[in-house]
Amino acid sequence: MQPENAHQARLLTSLRFNGAQSAAELATQMSLSRSKIGQELARLQESGFVEPAGKAASQGGRRSGLMQLSRRLRFVGVDIGATSLDVGVTDGRLEFVTHTSETINIEDGPETILGRAVEMIDKLRAEGHLPELDGVGVGVPGPVSFRDGFTVSPPIMPGWDRYPVREYFMQQLDCPVLLDNDVNLMAIGEMYCGLARSVPDFLFVKIGTGIGCGIVTGGRVLRGSNGSAGDIGHIAVQGTGPVCGCGRTGCLEAWFSGASLSRDATALARSGDSPGLHELLGDRDALTARDVGIAMRNGDPQALGLVRDGGRRVGRVLAGLVNFANPGMIVVGGGVAGLGHPLLAEVRSELYRRSTPLATSNLPVALSELGGHAGVIGAAGLINDHVLGVNLAS
Amino acid sequence: MQPENAHQARLLTSLRFNGAQSAAELATQMSLSRSKIGQELARLQESGFVEPAGKAASQGGRRSGLMQLSRRLRFVGVDIGATSLDVGVTDGRLEFVTHTSETINIEDGPETILGRAVEMIDKLRAEGHLPELDGVGVGVPGPVSFRDGFTVSPPIMPGWDRYPVREYFMQQLDCPVLLDNDVNLMAIGEMYCGLARSVPDFLFVKIGTGIGCGIVTGGRVLRGSNGSAGDIGHIAVQGTGPVCGCGRTGCLEAWFSGASLSRDATALARSGDSPGLHELLGDRDALTARDVGIAMRNGDPQALGLVRDGGRRVGRVLAGLVNFANPGMIVVGGGVAGLGHPLLAEVRSELYRRSTPLATSNLPVALSELGGHAGVIGAAGLINDHVLGVNLAS
């Protein structure tokens, strides 16, 4: 099911963003005749996209009938992480219906993980959360060929290279499917349901195990020439520095990320330089970014130092990107963003110090408020856009 | 004069990019009825946009009439530089008609410079190069509020801050006018008439007195949230370094640009470290980037060293931007690009070394072939797009 023409796409787009409306309101908005709008709405009702939504409040005369997106519409977002698999369901207006999550190991490979995802969707269907299934958006933590629907040389996903993820879901679920990089999807989540609502140009920076960036310009995700745009974790902060997973030295994420925080905090714990981290380590193999947060809040100066140094390096890279892209907002998310304001303060300070005043004169830098949900909401949003024809209409 | 609707904009766009076509061809291309196309073409002919262009080659039956953009259409590009004022005239398809240039000093202020530009346009009209004037695009070497049509805090343009440049030309010339940053216009020139033809995502890097970047994504210039996108001259290469005109240290253009080459080469000449540069300096006050090129080609190792060091720093900044934006091509232009392949070789080498393999797997880096014309062609292209409705249509 897809809108048949640009008029229908514009109608669906307006109903998604603005909710129930009368044919008269829609006709005025779209500069089309009331009869043309009535015709298109009738066809959309036949194909199951829209339904009547009662009468409008009386304006003195005859009360006009409202139309809305069908309440049966369901879009599923699948967010595949390195260690977690999240499945969320939204309605046609991207309101959250339900959400479920499991622990996985992405190295188990695509057959296992994708099979699990389909089972989770089947279970949601059995529980009645999916009166219909209108599309599935899928995110993976690696570079994606958006057009082809598969991952391309993903560094942390052995066995997934060029595996036909989109094809797999389309065959199993018989509905439209799109695959994207997880950070792009989190950016879409922020654009539709997060802090960046109504900001057409912004950056979403995910600091998790690695670091990545979703770039939104003019309300659209910038994917670049072969889909690798936003790969900022491998921008060099200094010529020398720790060796990165990519084989080079000085990459941003080799200096600061969930993985490097774990490495540095564990080293400080073992050397005894930080009694606080030493105590937290106990007899475990390694500390995590979360442990660094605990030690920092307990007043451990070494833990705070790690966070501040990291924030400064992130800020320095972002300063360059702000001069380059001149975004209207920066949203910071991902697990490591849980370190909160001490991290954000350093990012901001370096950013404002190093960017040109014109570019930062009105540039909010904020922590994501969507938490773990940004990815699934963005995935559902991506496929909802596609099915309703939102980009056709804009 | 403006197209009346999206159909007309699509017709004009097709005639601009594809040249003369028959109504039948246009109808097929646009999935519209032949009579609808005939109707819209007739209206476009009335308003002076299109004209008959003879008959198509015979296909056996009746030969159909071709339509083309009116040969009277003229678009003017005005490229205001720090020391030069270029005015170029193109036809509707952006073919160059004529070009004229004068030496100026931008510090003489907007009244003087803009008055000169209008005189140059009047002269072109008197010489018969402007049977009509359908629009003027204007570029200035500083940040521009595209919407407002004025410059915003331009560092090298005293007296120009918020001067209503667009308004001035509109009143003097009574036609549509748009104002943009000169580097954005050079990028548009490259997109329509240069190496980046058919590349939807690319960067144009101008190395002149300063350094700037035009960003094209999906065939459109990315201007950013307040028009300052592409301001890469103030990205920090190292935390310390020479003091920049902006007051900070370590900015790319403080390390390498026309101005810094002049500074460094003059210092090497005076100290006697470079006999070649010393000889070139003679009793002049300062050397220029062009002198560095001469010394380099004469085999002066210090001059070559300046170019190589600079190229490496440009390459390092571009490496980060390539990871971020994943362009499909980089075109390098501006006066300092005249240093040619020794510069380009260093840029490439650093870029390929520091960017992720996925982002550089298919990334040509080339010297502009438009030379000094990129700016005026881009300015004419910007206003041509606007008047014909090219962005409406795409």
Percentage of residues of chain B with pLDDT beyond 90: 79
Q: What is the pLDDT of residues B266-278, one digit of tens each?
A: 999 999 999 999 9
Q: How far is B228 from chain A (nearest CA, A)?
A: 6
Q: How far is B128 from chain A (nearest CA, A)?
A: 41
- The pLDDT of residue B58 is 63
Chain centroid offset of residue A193 CA: 10
**Both structure tokens of A380:** 């559902």
| Exposure on the CB side of residue B144, measured as CA atoms within 13 A | 24
The dihedral sign for the CA sequence B274, B278, B284, B287: negative
Confidence band, pLDDT 50/70/90 cuts, at residue B143: confident
Chain centroid offset of residue B101 CA: 16
The answer to whether the Cβ–Cβ distance between A320 and B359 falls below 8 Å is no
SS (H, E, C) A101-120: EEECCHHHCHHHHHHHHHHH
Q: Which of B223, B229, B323 sits opposite A235 (nearest CB)?
A: B323
- The pLDDT of residue B209 is 87
- The pLDDT of residue A21 is 95
- Residues belonging to chain A with any Cβ–Cβ distance to chain B shorter than 8 Å: 143, 152-153, 201, 213, 215, 217-218, 220, 222-232, 234-236, 246, 248, 316-317, 319-321, 323-328, 354-359, 361-363
- Give Cα separations from A198 to A34, A162, A218, A332, B265 (angstroms): 29, 35, 10, 17, 49
Q: How far is A213 from chain B (nearest CA, A)?
A: 8
Confidence band, pLDDT 50/70/90 cuts, at residue B394: very low
The answer to whether the Cβ–Cβ distance between A358 and B226 falls below 8 Å is yes
Sort out which chain B residues have CB atoms less than 8 A from A222's CB and list them: 217, 222, 325
The answer to whether the Cβ–Cβ distance between B328 and A248 falls below 8 Å is no
Q: What is the pLDDT of residues B341-383, one digit of tens each?
A: 999 999 999 999 988 888 888 899 999 999 788 999 999 999 9
Q: How far is B120 from chain A (nearest CA, A)?
A: 33
What is the C-alpha separation between B228 and A243, in angstroms, rounded? Answer: 34
Instruction: Pick the residue from chain A with its C-alpha nearest to B392.
Output: A394
Sort out which chain B residues have CB atoms less than 8 A from A248's CB and list them: 354
The residue-averaged pLDDT of B50-62 equals 77
Q: How far is A212 from chain B (nearest CA, A)?
A: 9
Residue with tokens 């089947």: A122
Q: Which of B181, B228, B360 to mutate to test the interface with A (most CBs of A within 10 A)?
A: B228
The answer to whether the Cβ–Cβ distance between B362 and A225 falls below 8 Å is yes
The answer to whether the Cβ–Cβ distance between A324 and B153 falls below 8 Å is no
Sort out which chain B residues have CB atoms less than 8 A from A225's CB and list them: 201, 326-328, 362-363
Q: Which of A152, A231, A328 sits opposite B225 (nearest CB)?
A: A328
Q: Which residue has the higher pLDDT, A65 or A74?
A: A74
The residue-averaged pLDDT of B4-17 equals 92
In the predicted model, what is the mean pLDDT of chain A? 92
pTM of the model: 0.90
Confidence band, pLDDT 50/70/90 cuts, at residue A58: low
ipTM of the complex: 0.89
Q: How far is B47 from chain A (nearest CA, A)?
A: 24
What is the SS3 assignment for B316? helix
- Give the end-to-end CA distance of chain A in Å, rounded to a whole number: 20
What does DSSP say about strands B84-90 and B75-80: parallel, antiparallel, or unpaired?
antiparallel
CB atoms within 10 A of CB A359: 27
Q: How far is B91 from chain A (nearest CA, A)?
A: 30
In the predicted model, what is the mean pLDDT of chain B? 92
Percentage of residues of chain B with pLDDT beyond 70: 97
Domains of chain B listed by start with CATH number: 6-69 (1.10.10.10), 75-191+373-393 (3.30.420.40), 197-369 (3.30.420.40)
| Burial class (CB within 10 angstroms; exposed 0-12, middle 13-18, buried 19+) of A252 | buried
pLDDT for residue A24 is more than 80 = yes
CA angle B97, B100, B106 (to 5 degrees): 135
The residue-averaged pLDDT of A83-97 equals 95
CA angle A94, A97, A100 (to 5 degrees): 115
Contact A118, A358 (CB under 8 A): no
- The pLDDT of residue A63 is 65
**Both structure tokens of B172:** 């003097």
The answer to whether the Cβ–Cβ distance between B324 and A321 falls below 8 Å is yes
What is the SS3 assignment for A315? helix
- Give the end-to-end CA distance of chain B in Å, rounded to a whole number: 20
Helices (H), ranges, A141-195 = 165-173, 182-193
What is the C-alpha separation between B346 and B334, in angstroms, rounded? Answer: 17
**Both structure tokens of B56:** 């198509």
Sort out which chain B residues have CB atoms less than 8 A from A317's CB and list them: 320
Query: How does DSSP classify residue B49?
Result: S
Confidence band, pLDDT 50/70/90 cuts, at residue B69: very high
**Both structure tokens of A171:** 């065959």
Q: How far is B110 from chain A (nearest CA, A)?
A: 22
Q: What is the pLDDT of residues B226-281, one digit of tens each?
A: 888 999 999 998 767 899 888 888 999 999 999 999 999 999 999 999 999 999 99
Orientation of helix B182-193 relative to helix B374-388, angle to 10°: 80
Residue with tokens 């980046």: B196
What is the SS3 assignment for B19? coil
Q: Which of A161, A184, A235, A330 to mutate to test the interface with B (most CBs of B within 10 A)?
A: A235
- The pLDDT of residue B393 is 52
What is the C-alpha separation between A184 and A204, in angstroms, rounded? Answer: 8
Q: How far is B85 from chain A (nearest CA, A)?
A: 26
**Both structure tokens of B302:** 């210090």
The residue-averaged pLDDT of A108-132 equals 97
Sorted by sequence, the CB contacts under 8 Å of residue B311 that are 6+ apart come out as B256, B342, B343, B344, B345, B346, B347, B350
Write out the DSSP string of A247-311. Answer: S-BSBHHHHSSHHHHHHHHHHHHHHTS-HHHHHHHTT-S---HHHHHHHHHTT-HHHHHHHHHHH
Sort out which chain B residues have CB atoms less than 8 A from A226's CB and list them: 326, 328, 358-359, 361-362
Q: Which of B235, B350, B353 to mutate to test the interface with A (most CBs of A within 10 A)?
A: B235
Confidence band, pLDDT 50/70/90 cuts, at residue A3: confident
Confidence band, pLDDT 50/70/90 cuts, at residue B117: very high
The residue-averaged pLDDT of A61-66 equals 75
Give all strands (DSSP E) within chain B, no chain letters.
21-22, 50-55, 65-69, 75-80, 84-90, 96-103, 135-140, 144-145, 150-151, 177-181, 202-207, 211-217, 220-221, 330-333, 365-367
**Both structure tokens of A139:** 């995110």
pLDDT for residue A66 is more than 50 = yes
What is the C-alpha separation between A89 and A97, in angstroms, rounded? Answer: 5
- The pLDDT of residue B380 is 98
Q: Which of B220, B222, B326 sits opposite A325 (nearest CB)?
A: B222
Q: How many residues would you count in chain B?
A: 394
Instruction: Specify the amino acid at residue A196.
Output: A
Instruction: Pick the residue from chain B with its C-alpha nearest to A224.
Output: B326
The residue-averaged pLDDT of A101-106 equals 95
Q: How far is B30 from chain A (nearest CA, A)?
A: 14
Instruction: Pick the residue from chain A with its C-alpha nearest to B142.
Output: A358
The answer to whether the Cβ–Cβ distance between A231 and B358 falls below 8 Å is yes
CB pairs under 8 A between A and B: 136
Sort out which chain A residues have CB atoms less than 8 A from B362's CB and list them: 225-226
Q: What is the pLDDT of residues A227-276, one digit of tens each?
A: 889 999 999 987 688 988 888 889 999 999 999 999 999 999 999 999 99
Sort out which chain B residues have CB atoms less than 8 A from A153's CB and list them: 357-358
Q: How many residues would you count in chain A?
A: 394
What is the C-alpha separation between B292 and A316, in angstroms, rounded? Answer: 32
What is the C-alpha separation between A345 and A357, in angstroms, rounded? Answer: 18
- The pLDDT of residue A209 is 87
What is the C-alpha separation between A392 and B5, in angstroms, rounded? Answer: 17
What is the C-alpha separation between B370 and A374, in angstroms, rounded? Answer: 45
The answer to whether the Cβ–Cβ distance between A359 and B224 falls below 8 Å is yes
- The pLDDT of residue A394 is 45
